[in-house]
Structure 1
Amino acid sequence: MQTTRTPHQPWQPQGTVYGTLLNFRREWDLWIPRMTQDPHKAAPKEPVLYVKTANTFSPAGQDLLLQDGVTEVDIGATLGLVIGGDGQVAGAVLLNDWSVLHASYYRPPVKFRCRDGFLALPQQVTPGQVQDWATMQIAVRRNGDLVQTVDLRELMRAMPELLADVGEFMTLQPGDVLMVGTDCLADGTRPRAKAGDRVEISAPGFASVVTMVGGAA
């Protein structure tokens, strides 16, 4: 009996994807003078999380289409921790957490982060444990030029601490992904991309995330 082989499908999250804000020292330091202002009036004591909804998931090899007057987007290179069946970290993925440019990274409106295709995914998960990636550096290239290096040694909450602190107020389920955060440049902005740009997120031992940015027809 002849069987038909199903081609390998690119990885997609099987649960909820959570992002973390203000988890790199440089951005935290830049925001300190404003953390005591209204409406929050104090620095956050717990991790500040947001959800990347399923419509944002963009499988490996898929282009990002800019629409609705958006001409430029922030590049958000990050590491996502993939939760396994035992509730522990089973592996990790590089991700590009795209966002429309906006003034606040403290409580950004969902409409800036949760547009269609605004989470670029890799081909596959890299197995491992959090200690394997503690000193990892993520390279961000735009049209072949290095525009940012994200150093995971600069996390405000290292990965074990982040997982423990999140676990104090919610339970991560099998298939969930917890992104450790995105870093900013020295001036507080993030690298940006526009139609025609090719953006690559890479790190040793990981499947790269490569996206072509296109404009609306």
Structure 2
Amino acid sequence: MSRALHDVATGTLLGVALNYQGLLKQHLAEFEQPPYQKPPVKPVLFIKTPNTRNEHDAEVVHPGNGLRLQPGPALGVVIGKDISRVSAAEALDYVAGYTIVNEFSLPEDSYYRPAVKAKCRDGFCAIGPELVPTAQIADPHSLTITLYVNGEVRQQNSTANFVRDVPRLIAEISEFMTLHAGDVLITGTPEGRVDVAPGGRVEVEISGLGRLVNHIAAQ
């Protein structure tokens, strides 16, 4: 993680679940069952707690005990100024820049209730390697996200497939909570999560943002 990112991305790590069209479609039948009976109408949010913070080229500890560990490649949006009740048209004016996030998790049983034990283990949110200013990214909704495990492509998608684009996410979240300078909005992981094992090398590449590398260590 570059020094600039350390200085800027110091706030809350706020995740958005189900923000890829393909992932949402996979779960539509489940959402039509009681007690929900319809898909979510607002962003489904979760928090990555401060103990999850991790860096480029750092280790992520596999939980062991027969548990499965899955990387979560995502575009990170770093908030530059405090925001409350901003319109989608103005939302990007409050963004300092973009970075890569690997939001590690155990497999999720419910997207409506993301489990703390699955999401918030030590080191489960790698961020980096640097902050890329908004001016350097012409369109945050045309970026290719690729996950490599031991050099092999295991997951690939595009931010063109977001359910909610970045301005809409910021507008809908800031309706009910203030986003502060330094907060990081994790815009979602696409469908097709894979398992990784100790000894593995995990890389997330996003076009224009570089490549975030982590190493999976045994417990």
> What per-residue deviation string (whole Å, max 9, x for no partner) do you get for residues 27-84 of structure 1?
1111111113233233211111111000000122210112352553111000010000
Q: CA deviation at 1:121?
A: 1.6
Q: Pick from 160, 163, 188: which aligns with 1:156?
A: 163
Alignment of 1:11 with 2:5, yes or no, is yes
* Cα separation, 1, equivalents of 2:113 and 2:49: 16
Q: TM-score, normalised by structure 1?
A: 0.87
Q: CA deviation at 1:132?
A: 2.5
SS where residue 162 of structure 1 aligns? helix
Computed over aligned residues only, the root mean square deviation of the Cα atoms, in angstroms, reads 1.9
- Structure with the largest fraction of helix: 2
Q: TM-score, normalised by structure 2?
A: 0.86
The residue number in structure 1 matching 2:110 is 104
> What per-residue deviation string (whole Å, max 9, x for no partner) do you get for residues 64-106 of structure 1?
1123525531110000100003640110111100001233233
Unaligned runs of 5+ in 1: 1-7
Alignment of 1:141 with 2:141, yes or no, is no
Alignment of 1:207 with 2:203, yes or no, is no
Q: CA deviation at 1:11?
A: 3.3
> What per-residue deviation string (whole Å, max 9, x for no partner) do you get for residues 116-141 of structure 1?
00001213211116752110011110
Q: CA deviation at 1:167?
A: 1.8
Q: Pick from 99, 102, 122: which aligns with 1:116?
A: 122
Query: What percent of counterpart residues are identical?
Result: 33
Larger Rg: 1
Q: 1:146 to 1:125 in 2, by over 3 A?
A: same
The size of the alignment, in residue pairs, is: 205
Larger displacement relative to structure 2 (110-119 or 65-74): 65-74
Q: Pick from 55, 58, 63: which aligns with 2:59?
A: 63
Alignment of 1:94 with 2:90, yes or no, is no
Larger displacement relative to structure 2 (112-121 or 68-77): 68-77
1:73-92 → structure 2 map (5 Å cutoff)? 73-85=69-81, 87=83, 88-92=94-98
Query: Which amino acid counterpart does residue 96 of structure 1 have in structure 2?
Result: N
> Contact 2:105/2:119 (CA < 8 Å) preserved in 1?
yes
